[in-house]
């Protein structure tokens, strides 16, 4: 079977719509794990009641008290992760749980998506006919503008990412059945179990160095180093609401700071030191322009922001949850920049 992992965090309505769309797919040989990242909206209880009322088989388990009952095609496992573990760690937890059933493939899917009935069968059929590709993504269109591409895979070049066909009409995609990629978004990705890495006896797909973002970028850098081939299967289509769970922070520049901090640490680990020196200069110039355009930062204030960021990156190898939350709330090194 295929293990479909869907992460929920206070997103009951989105998750219901996502699971309803999965209930209509033509690839029946799958089971679904819904990992709940410490929701406070009663998501687990509401999801259980909702889908039992619809005649679905729903099972419950929780972190630290896992049970692995025999699963049938179409079963939904509600997995209580107890806390907000972030995207990377939570998806790794679901993958580790699902690995006990030895699935043929794993599929990670954002809860703020809706899928076409044949999206999964087209991904799995492409994989069987093209076994050299171990990581696949569908063509992802905007949920509210369904003829327009949000993501058709992407390319990473010299530490920068570019989405293919972003904001262009789906009818403009010309590659045929697939687009070769060096980047696949964590919004929706199908991969083979042998792509998983293992650390301290724990399987994982994403690095756990970053609590907020960066996981799919690091994965792309790692898989490129390992020469793992990836593709966007253009006939497989889903719709994404885009960033339904972000923008809930008191500091407007906090997420910007964390994004660039993550990227500096991440690229440093994969790039030659000399290349990284020049990359850092280009990234900082890009950041300065962004701060001026988006937040009306003066040159002096932008310089202070960038110097603080660079010093922070030099002293860090990871960006954990507590530090992210501190930054999001306007604390840590960015509190002085606002003055």
Angle between the N-to-C axes of helices 299-314 and 254-268, in degrees from 0 to 180, rounded to the nearest 10:
50
In whole angstroms, give the CA distance from residue 42 to residue 284.
42
- Token pair 């407007």 in the structure block, residue: 252
Mean pLDDT on 201-205: 92
Do residue 290 and residue 189 come from a single domain?
no
Mean pLDDT over each residue of the chain, to the nearest integer: 94
Domain boundary, last residue among 183, 213, 240: 240
**What kind and span of H or E run contains 4?**
strand 2-8
Mean pLDDT on 52-76: 96
What pLDDT is stored for residue 252 in this prediction? Answer: 85
Do residue 58 and residue 195 come from a single domain?
yes
Mean pLDDT on 300-319: 96
3-state secondary structure (DSSP) of residue 194: helix
Do residue 218 and residue 121 come from a single domain?
yes
The pTM assigned to this predicted structure is 0.94
Is residue 247, in this structure, part of any structural domain at all? no
What pLDDT is stored for residue 242 in this prediction? Answer: 86
In whole angstroms, give the CA distance from residue 1 to residue 18.
19
pLDDT beyond 70 at 184: yes
At 251, is the pLDDT very low, low, confident or very high (cuts 50, 70, 90)?
low
What pLDDT is stored for residue 8 in this prediction? Answer: 97
Domain boundary, last residue among 240, 265, 296: 240
What pLDDT is stored for residue 338 in this prediction? Answer: 57
Do residue 297 and residue 175 come from a single domain?
no
What CATH number should be reported for the domain holding residue 226? Answer: 3.90.550.10
Do residue 280 and residue 169 come from a single domain?
no
- Provide the domain limits for residue 299: 254-335
Do residue 50 and residue 143 come from a single domain?
yes
Could you report the per-residue pLDDT of 137-165, keeping only the tens digit for each? 999 999 999 999 999 999 999 899 999 99
Of 43 and 250, more confident = 43
As for how many domains the chain has, the answer is 2
Do residue 165 and residue 61 come from a single domain?
yes
Residue 296: burial class (beta carbons within 10 Å; 0-12, 13-18, 19+): exposed
Do residue 71 and residue 204 come from a single domain?
yes
What pLDDT is stored for residue 201 in this prediction? Answer: 83
């Amino acid at each position: 079977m295929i293990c479909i992992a869907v992460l929920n965090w206070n997103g009951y309505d989105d998750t219901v719509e996502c699971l309803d769309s999965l209930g209509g797919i033509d690839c029946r040989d799958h089971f679904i794990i819904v990992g709940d990242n410490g929701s406070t909206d009663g998501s687990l209880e509401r999801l259980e009641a909702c889908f039992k009322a619809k005649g679905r088989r729903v099972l419950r388990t929780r972190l630290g008290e896992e049970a692995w009952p025999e699963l049938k095609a179409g079963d939904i496992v509600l997995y209580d992760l107890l806390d907000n573990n972030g995207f990377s760690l939570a998806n790794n937890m679901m993958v580790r749980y699902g690995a006990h059933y030895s699935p043929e493939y794993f599929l990670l899917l954002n809860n703020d998506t809706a899928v076409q009935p044949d999206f999964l069968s087209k991904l799995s059929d492409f994989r069987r006919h093209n076994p050299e590709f171990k990581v696949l993504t569908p063509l992802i269109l905007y949920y509210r503008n369904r003829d327009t591409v949000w993501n058709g895979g992407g390319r990473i070049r010299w530490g920068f990412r570019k989405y293919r066909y972003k904001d262009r009409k789906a009818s403009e995609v010309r590659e045929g059945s697939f687009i070769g990629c060096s980047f696949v978004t964590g919004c929706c990705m199908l991969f083979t179990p042998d792509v998983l890495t293992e650390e301290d006896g724990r399987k994982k797909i994403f690095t756990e160095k970053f609590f907020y973002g960066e996981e799919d970028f690091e994965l792309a850098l790692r898989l490129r180093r390992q020469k793992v081939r990836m593709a966007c299967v253009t006939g497989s289509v889903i719709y994404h609401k885009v960033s339904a769970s972000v923008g809930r922070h008191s500091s407007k520049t906090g997420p910007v700071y964390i994004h660039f901090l993550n990227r500096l640490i991440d690229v440093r680990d994969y790039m030659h030191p000399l290349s990284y020196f020049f990359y850092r200069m280009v990234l900082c110039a890009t950041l300065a322009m962004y701060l001026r355009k988006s937040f009306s930062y003066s040159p002096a204030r932008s310089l202070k922001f960038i110097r603080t960021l660079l010093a922070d990156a030099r002293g860090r190898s990871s960006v954990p949850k507590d530090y992210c939350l501190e930054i999001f709330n306007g604390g840590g090194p960015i509190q002085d920049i606002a003055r």
